[in-house]
Amino acid sequence: MLEHRLKGLKSFLEKPAPTWGPDISKLDVNNIVFFIQNKGPKNSRSWEEVPADIKRTFQRLGIPEAEQRVLAGAGAQYESEMAYHNLKTEWEAKGVIFLDMDEALKQHEALVKEYFMRCVPYNDHKFASLHAAVWSGGTFLYVPKGIKVTQPLQAYFRMNARRAGQFEHTLIIVEEEAEVHYIEGCSAPQYNENSLHAGCVEVFVKKNARARYSSVENWSKNTYNLNTKRAIADENAIIEWVGGNLGSGVTMLYPCSILRGKNSRAEHISIAFAAKGQNQDTGAKVYHIAPGTSSHITSKSIAIEGGITSYRGFVKINKGAKKAKSAVECDALMIDNASQSNTYPYIDVKEADSDVGHEATVGRISDDDVFYLQSRGIKEDEAKKLIVRGFMEPVIKQLPIEYAVELNKLIELEMEGSLG
């Protein structure tokens, strides 16, 4: 592992920063604290053992409560280490492994070694290299063959210190015919100094398996969220990405699906919200390598009070990926005139026997719609809120109810006073 970290560091120093996308020149990596240890025991299986202040933070976020009611297991990371990690015994008995990444490395070394950074190599790009060098914490999830985990599993990541960096590594392996839904929530309070989140998510979906990865990221407004998420899908496998990006100053996040198995499918659903001082540069990447693969990307974004939202997508149909299909839809809503919305789709087709389509629209809240609602006795700002909610509906309804409510609330909070 040390060797791997050193390779990552060397690669980080060698690689140039990206020349495209949002401005990240204000990010000074030397100012970031790479590892912050928590007091108290790691990986408690009971909330009783978790230190009171950390427990309070997560209680406010509603994690213990939700775990009891709907989740199959939950993990909670505070700064650089996992404070809590638990899996319901019924799933544990079936062979599901849900552990903190550091712990997994100790207990299941061979398994981790086989998959760790095989999907996102250490020299993939500058921040993947940094991640490889300094990663800590995160979740390891292994679902054995044929097991369908019916309740979602959840991890929550919290950065609390100033100038903190969080570099959690999430590794999900879904064996043949298995199914899982993993949810991730992220947040951080506001400080003056910039912090950095450069996590990495790797998902391996085997033959006939299905994985759904949902995340709601709500970092503080001065966080650089430079995250890498990637999945490899084998034959007939389905990978679904559901994402909400609300917080952080600069986000550069492009979940990627590599469809290498025949008839595998990728579904990307995302929503981005940029208010004052925020630059949400999000998108999706799909590589169609095998025949019969299909992908569907839905991206929604809202820009308000000078926020910048960009959709940056990449769809590649490799030679030989016959009958591959891809559909991309991007809709952007601009609430006011100070905001900015960009769309940069890149479609690269090397196989003639394929079908690729892209559609995008950019606009504002339609006066006609507002007028109609007003004529029905709904106040103007209420009407606008309703329209925004309707715009997000296709994404929100894919999320578990707790997250849907949270996301709706967060967006309403952000838009308070700026409508009407």
Partner 1 sequence: MKQLVKYGLTTSLRAFELPEIWDGEQTVVISAEGISVGADTKNSQAISVPAGFKGTITIRRNITGNRDNTMQILVKQDSEARIIEEITGSGTYKANVLVTAEPGCSVKYFLLQAMEEDSVCLLNYEGTGEKGSFIWNSCFLGGDTTRAVLETRAGDEYDSQNYAVVLGSGNQQFDIHVSTKHAGKHSRSNMLTKSVLDDKSRAVYHGLINISQDAAKIDSYQKDEVILLSDGSSADAIPNLEIHNNDVSCTHGASIGKLDEEKLFYLKSRGIAEADAKRIITEGFVEPLVLPAWQHLIREKISRS
| Residue 346 lies near partner 1 (rule: CB under 8 A) | yes
Closest approach of Cβ 311 to partner 1, in Å?
9
Cα–Cα distance, 236 to 344 (Å, whole number): 30
Asked if 251 contacts 274 with a C-beta cutoff of 8 angstroms, the reply is no
Looking at the DSSP assignment, which residues form a beta bridge with residue 287? 258, 316
341 binds partner 1 (CB under 8 A): yes
Q: Which stretch binds partner 1 (CB under 8 A): 227-235, 264-272, 328-336, 378-386?
A: 328-336
Contact 357, 317 (CB under 8 A): no
Using CB under 8 A as the binding rule, whether residue 27 contacts partner 1 is answered as: no
**Member of 30, 89, 192, 337 binding partner 1 (CB under 8 A):** 337
Which residues, at least 6 apart from 285, have a Cβ–Cβ distance to it below 8 Å? 254, 255, 256, 257, 313, 314, 315
Cα separation, 276 vs 93, in Å, equals: 48
What 3-state class would DSSP assign to 51? coil
Least CB distance to partner 1 at residue 358 (A): 4
> Among 28, 53, 114, 359, which residue interacts with partner 1 (rule: CB under 8 A)?
359
Q: What is the residue type of 115?
A: Y
189 binds partner 1 (CB under 8 A): no
Task: Tell me phi and psi for residue 325, to 5 degrees.
Answer: -135, 140
Q: Which of 31, 68, 361, 374 binds partner 1 (CB under 8 A)?
A: 361
Taking the complex as a whole, how short is the minimal distance between the CB of residue 5 and partner 1, in angstroms?
Answer: 35
Question: In the complex with partner 1, which residue's Cβ is closer, 189 or 363?
Answer: 363
Q: From the CB of 256, what's the least distance to partner 1, in Å? A: 18
Amino acid type, 347: I
Asked if 77 touches partner 1 (CB under 8 A), the answer is: no
The C-alpha atoms of residue 377 and residue 367 are separated, in whole angstroms, by 15
The secondary structure of 365-415 as a DSSP string is: --HHHHHHHHHTT--HHHHHHHHHHHHHHHHHTTS-HHHHHHHHHHHHHHH
Shortest distance in whole angstroms from residue 371 CB to partner 1: 16
Q: Is 380 in the site for partner 1 (CB under 8 A)?
A: no
What is the smallest separation between the CB atom of 338 and partner 1, expressed in angstroms? 8
Size of the site for partner 1 (CB under 8 A): 33
Q: Is 302 in the site for partner 1 (CB under 8 A)?
A: no
> Shortest Cβ distance from residue 253 to partner 1 (Å)?
19
For residue 347, state whether it binds partner 1 (rule: CB under 8 A): yes
Chain positions contacting partner 1, by CB under 8 A:
319, 332, 334-364
